[in-house]
Amino acid sequence: MNQTDALDLASMLCSRLCHDMLSPVGALSNGLELLADEKDPEMRERCLELLEQSARISTDKLKFFRLAFGAAGGFGENVPVEETQAVVDALAGDAKRVEVNWALAEQSLPKPAVKVLLNFAHIGIDALVRGGTLDIGAERNNEATEIVVRATGAKVAFDETIGRGLQGELPIEELSSRTAAAHMLFLLAEKTGGGLQYQLGEDALVLGAVLPQPEGMIG
């Protein structure tokens, strides 16, 4: 990827962040305006509840973006799995009607694996428009980290262009803020010498990844 393409991808990822943050931050602003004018005690209490909800959702999204797109400062080469679980559980809780089941054999995962797992989970949650179950598994050995995310529910919704992005089949000029994260995952997997795959059925979406271990972490 040349410098121009890298800048375009970064711009689209920033657009994605702004788009996702606009709703909860906007709700905070509106809630503060209502609270300033509201005199009824019950309505003020309701405003405070909405402000608390919007603040929590904003915090959850920022934690997701920090680990899923950012450098995840404060961690070493590996991220504790409880940090990853907390982020996904929070997103699923905000989405409502999504149950998350975990099968993690490790206490920590390499940062590239965490980015893939979190983005897969986000794609899975978005696909469960009518609710459902998100099963997440990850394990690693001396050679690679393997990740599987399965979203199961009624009428699973999945944009095939995201799938094309995961396979590296979207030219940079065809990317959008919606598909930029998928392309980022493709580049990440390609850099590690790994690969991504997905399978879509009527009531299930399965996302998988195999990411070879960095040389310094083998053995």
What are the boundaries of each domain within the chain? Answer: 3-217
How far apart (Å, rounded) are the C-alpha atoms in residues 80 and 90? Answer: 16
60 or 216: which leads in pLDDT: 60
Least confident of 23-32, 115-124, 156-165: 23-32
pLDDT confidence of residue 148: 97
Cβ neighbours of 103 (radius 10 Å): 10
pLDDT confidence of residue 27: 85
Retrieve residue 124's tokens: 């899975």
| CATH top-level class of 3-217 | alpha beta
- Checking if the pLDDT of 2 tops 70, the result is no
The mean pLDDT of 96-121, rounded to a whole number, is 93
pLDDT confidence of residue 117: 97
pLDDT confidence of residue 109: 92
161 or 142: which leads in pLDDT: 161
- Checking if the pLDDT of 11 tops 60, the result is yes
pLDDT confidence of residue 73: 63
- Checking if the pLDDT of 4 tops 80, the result is no
How far apart (Å, rounded) are the C-alpha atoms in residues 169 and 69? Answer: 21
- Asked if 129 contacts 146 with a C-beta cutoff of 8 angstroms, the reply is no
In this structure, the strands spanning 98-104 and 132-140 are: parallel
pLDDT confidence of residue 1: 61
- Checking if the pLDDT of 167 tops 80, the result is yes
Q: How would you class 12 by CB atoms within 10 Å of its CB: exposed for 0-12, middle for 13-18, buried for 19 or more? A: buried
- Checking if the pLDDT of 8 tops 80, the result is yes
Q: How would you class 123 by CB atoms within 10 Å of its CB: exposed for 0-12, middle for 13-18, buried for 19 or more? A: buried
